[in-house]
Amino acid sequence: MATWLITGCSTGLGRALAEAVLASGHNAVVTARKVETLQDITAGFPDTALALPLDVTDKAQINAAVRQAEEKFGNIDVLVNNAGYGYRAAVEEADDADIRQLFDTNFFGAVDMIKAVLPGMRATKGGSILNVSSIGARITPAGSGYYAATKAALEGMSGSLRNELKPLGINVTAIEPGGFRTDFAGRSLTQSATPIGDYAETAGKRRKESDTSHGNQPGDPDKAARAIIAVVESATPPGLLVLGTDAVGAFGMVADAQRAELDQWRELSTSTDITD
């Protein structure tokens, strides 16, 4: 039996994962900004579930949640940084305060969660940290520049963290989901207040009022939850897990295009070395 701490469990992937972890017989610290949204998840698991309020931009709440989790269950074995939200705007359109709030939640919130659980994981020389990114970090669609940037930052940090923690017996996996049937593109999605007309044919097409993807995403959150549990239970977990046929296809297209561009510009790229 492992103890999981999962952020952002009120809806979507976080909720599905919390339910699957508990159904699998593990302990789960189930968190959300509004703890009352979690009662139906934890009600049937009085001994193995702990519902806690947690805003990942609040360090005091982070420390309190980790402390309460350790008091109830002992060590935290698995941290899933799932809390986050989408934001759409052309780069020029975005409000500074919106950008900072997005980074505080999607990136710095995950960093603070990691720092809070690592002392315990280092003490036991074991554990898993899973950081939920997005295929958006790879495909960088117009209108998602800042969201993609938060996830790219999360992945870059995850790669370095993996190298730092692997010798200590702690795994780090970044997860890139594609489109899943959640509230991500609906209620949870935010956007710039004032669009600029020149971006109507690029970023403008992905604004909430123009987007038809909500409710039509191909991914099943319950299947994603089972895949995440399988990664944690694997003897050789990956550094990057891509979820969804759409994400796998998009990943391949980007990788092929990047390789082709690398080869196209290889001569100029390699011409910059110092030569005797």
Residues designated catalytic: 133, 147, 151
Q: 182 Cβ partners below 8 Å, 6+ apart?
A: 11, 12, 13, 188, 217, 221
